[in-house]
Structures are given as C-alpha cells and as structure tokens.
Amino acid sequence: MNDSAAAMSFGGTSTDLDNRQIWLIVGGLMVGMFLQGLDTLLIVTALPTIAGELGGLDRISWALTVYLLTQTASVPLWGKLGDIWGRKRLYQFAVVLFAVTSVLCALAQNVDQLIAARAIRGVAGGGLLVLPFAIVGDIVPARRRARYQGAMGANVAVATLLGPLLGGFFVDHASWRYAFLVGVPPAGLALWSTRQLRLPSSRISRVGVDFTGAGIVVTVSVSLLLLVTWGGRRFSWASPQTLGLAVLSMALLAVLVAWERHAEDPIVPLHLFKIKGFPLLMSAAFFSGIAMQAPWTVMPIFLQLITGASATSSGLLLLPLIISISIASFVGGHLMSRSGRCKMVIVTGMILATCGFSFYLLLDRHSSRLQTSLFMTVTGCGLGLIIQPLVVVTQAMAPQRELGAATSVVSFFRQLGQAFGTAIALAVFAGRLVTHLRSNLSASTYSALDDDVRTGSPKAVERLEFVVRDPVTLSFARALHDTFVAVIPFAVIGLAMFALIPRVHLHDEERSFIDVLEPAP
C-alpha cells in the first residue's frame, strides 16, 4: 500500500482570499504572537537583578513560572470561547490585556506585585498563543495552512529567544522595567492590523461556557506544577506535602474527565481523543514540550556563569538557536505544503532535537562558543521542524466546527509540557547545585556564601576570590550538566510517540467563507 493510501486524510477549510490578503492577516496576527513569545523568557536573564532590587529572593522564580502556569491553564478556555463567540474580538481583548499588564509589570514595587501582574499577563498570553492559529485555520485550507503557520512558528521562536537578549540589554544599559514597556507599541500595531478582519459569523453553539470545566483545568494545572516545583526542593519527594499533591493531582484529573464526559459543551472535548492517533499526538506534544523548554531555561545561566558572557552577550549567543529554528520552521512548512505529508517532518525534527540535547552534555567550562553555537544550531533545526507541524496535524485531524478547541488542546499539552520543563529544569538545577557546592567547598565556605551566589547572580559570583570562585563555577557547570541529563529521557519518549502516530495527509478541500474582510473605512 502506498503512502497516500495508507495515510489518514482529513478535511480543511478555505476562503476566497488571495495570497496577499492572507499574508496581510497573518502579519497582523504575528505581531500579537510576537509579544507572547517575547515574554516567555523575557526575565530569565534579569531574574537575579530583579531579585536584588525587589527582594523576595525565595519567590522570584515564580515570576517566570506563574506566567507559564496561567498561560497554560487559560488556553482551553480561549479556544472554546473562540469557537462559541468568535475569535476576532477575543484576540483584540487579549492584546489589550497584554498591554495593560506590561505597564503593571513595569510598575511593580515588590516581588508579590510582579508575580500577580505576570499571572494576569499569562492569561493574556494564552489568548495570543492559541487564537491566531485558530484564525488561520478558519481562512486557509489544511495543506496551504502549513506554509503560513510555519512562518508564524518561526515568528514565535524568534520572539521567544529574543526575550533573554532584550531582558539582558535593559539590565546592562537601563532598567529591567523597560523590558516590559517595549511590548506596548506593538500591541497598538496588532490592534490596528486586525481592524478589517471579519471571520464567519456562524458558531458551533450558543450554550453556556463550561466555566466549571475551565476551573478544574486551572486547578489541575496548578497542583501539577506545584508538585514538580516543590518536589525535591521545598519538600522531599517522600514528604506528606509532595505525596499529597500527587494524590490531589490524580484525583483532580479523574474529576475533570468525569465532568467533561457529561458537560453540555465541554471545555476539553473528550471525543477528540477517540480520533486515531490523537492521544499519541497530545502525549508527544507534552513530552517534547518538556524537552524543548528545559534547556532554554538554563542556557542563559550557562552562558553567563560558565562562559563569562554578560546578560546582553548571553542573549546574542542564542542567535544560532533563533536563526536555525526560524529557517527550519519555514522549510518544514514549505515541505508540508508541497507534499501534504508531515509525519516525516516531525520525526526528523525530533531526531535532530534529541541529538542536539545530547550534544549539550558535552558542554563544560572549556567549551568554545563555536562549539556551543553548533550544538544550538542542531537543536534549533530540530525544534523548528516540530513546533508548527503539531498544530497543523491537530487541526487536520479535528472537525472544522471544533477547530479552536482542538488547537487549544494541543497548545495546552505543549504549554503544560513547557511549564513542566521550566519547573523540572529549575528544580534539578537547584537541587544538584547544592549537592555540588557542598562537595566542592568546605562546610565553612559553603555556609558563608551569599544567597546571591547560590541563586546564580553573575555579579555576585564574579566578586568572589578566585580560590572560591573556581569551585563555585565548577559546581554550576556540573549542576547544568545534570540538568541536561534529565532532559534526554523526555526527548526520547517524545520521539517514540511521534514515530508511532499515523500518517496524516493534508489536502486542499475548498469550502468558501464569506465576508472574511470588512471594507476599509
């Protein structure tokens, strides 16, 4: 049986728009997506400085984690609301909310205020993550969709990796507060660019929104992330607190499944998981999300503390990763658009990414920047071939009437994986760092270390005398190595699951939507 006969063939959607009009719409959506991607790791390079200015050193990591948490938890709700109420106004609301929270983050006077503003910002980020892909699914057929969503994926990848560069630049040359205000002008451009966009008025349902299901999703996400964030750090893995969180998480998952089975219009349509290959694809999205996020979280630490790069330079040194993800995302979208097949693209991408993660194990204090760049390039090529094909395949599998819900489900699993990846990376790094510091320093020297040194403040480490600084940086290098080791199993599991999904063939079934563009005023 040839590939076409063996492949699963799914429908798509189309519009009467020409290529120029579609790119105009996609360009406007990409502005909002750029904001979301930029904020994902914006404060990674600025965390030590923010902690020093605002205090709350023991809670500062939540300023990063809470964004991923609320973004992940809100994704299913954005997707379902888009299916019911329409996506244009929701998208514009998400842009406005993101701009408002930009100002709130910049004005934060203590860590608690910053965490609260970042939590609301994550909710807005969830809308900017899922709604643009669903909008493109409304106006472009499945096979052509890969081309546009490849560009959108490259846009998000560039923004995500520019975040640490931008944060480091403002830390070095002005104030970390300006890094948040940078997002305000593009938010205005995103609103202006979508003023003429008009999507089909038909909706799949007029029933009430499943807010109960959404609340359970949020609670499950919080309990799971608290489990991986606190386990092994604040509490031992065998402690009553950790075991209690594990039991609570499993119980809440069971409650969610039971509720969604009987909900009139569920926030997570469980029948999607009856589609052949859909559960595997969602699992692969989760595990690949863990694998791709963990190295991003700790790589700025490696570049600043181990190679001696400044906050700005560490962002610049991520350019090979940015460029390779962007190029690979464009190439992957083009290949899928021409052939209609995407399983090979995804599997190839995961193989490259897994190889790249494995190469990270070779990094140490003596690694050259050329070697680091080559390893990041291999990783970036792999990630670029994964990020958007996930969305394209999911949309191709799902019924058109539930395009938003399906897009939100895959985004939820991937974002949940990325949130887990951040929490796991920070937990493993912090735990192993303590172990290596105790091993490489005398008890009295370890006790005398400042908290800024233990949390990885580059300036604090630089101020140490050489006799202390050398074993401290060695401890950081070994802790980072252990963190990279922890990533490999998740990448291998993700690769195995991608290899097992059925072939999915995209095609150009045409269904016209009217009034996609409003007349210009």
- State pLDDT tens for residues 188-216: 888 887 776 665 544 444 456 777 888 88
Q: Tokens standing for 34?
A: 């750029």
pLDDT in the model for residue 395: 77
Cβ-Cβ contacts under 8 Å for 274 (sequence gap 6 or more)? none
* 504 strand-pairing partners: 8
The Cα–Cα gap between 136 and 155 comes to: 15
Helix (H) or strand (E) holding 505: strand 504-505
pLDDT digit string, tens, across residues 238-285: 788 888 988 998 999 899 889 888 877 777 788 888 888 889 999 999
- What pLDDT score does 15 carry? 47
In a structure prediction context, what are the per-residue pLDDT tens digits for the chain, which is 521 residues long? 343 333 333 334 444 566 777 777 777 788 888 877 777 667 766 776 777 677 665 566 677 778 877 887 788 788 778 777 778 888 889 989 999 998 998 898 888 888 889 889 888 988 888 888 778 777 776 667 666 766 776 677 677 767 777 777 787 777 888 888 887 888 888 888 777 666 554 444 445 677 788 888 888 878 887 787 777 667 777 788 888 988 998 999 899 889 888 877 777 788 888 888 889 999 999 998 888 877 777 787 788 778 777 766 776 777 888 788 878 877 887 777 777 677 888 899 999 999 998 998 888 888 888 888 899 899 989 988 887 778 778 877 877 677 777 877 887 888 788 878 877 887 788 888 888 888 888 888 888 887 777 766 677 777 878 888 888 888 888 888 898 898 899 999 999 999 888 877 665 443 333 233 333 33
Round to whole Å and give the CA distance between 260 and 269. Answer: 7
CA 210/CA 127 separation, integer angstroms: 17
Sign of the C-alpha dihedral computed for residues 358, 360, 364 and 369 taken in this order: positive
pLDDT of residue 516: 36
In three-state secondary structure terms, 335 is helix
Q: Whole-structure pTM over 0.75, yes or no? A: no
Find out whether 185 and 380 touch, Cβ atoms under 8 Å. Answer: no
Q: Containing H/E element for 276? A: none
- Angle subtended by helix axes 278-301 and 466-500, to nearest 10: 170
- Give the separation between CA 244 and CA 206, rounded to whole angstroms: 39
User: Distance between CA atoms of 182 and 185, rounded to whole angstroms?
Assistant: 7
- Return the pLDDT at 212: 85
The b-or-e profile of 151-180 (16+ CB within 10 A means b, else e) is: bbbbbbbbbbbbbbbbbbbbbeeeebbebb
Q: What is the pLDDT of residue 100?
A: 92
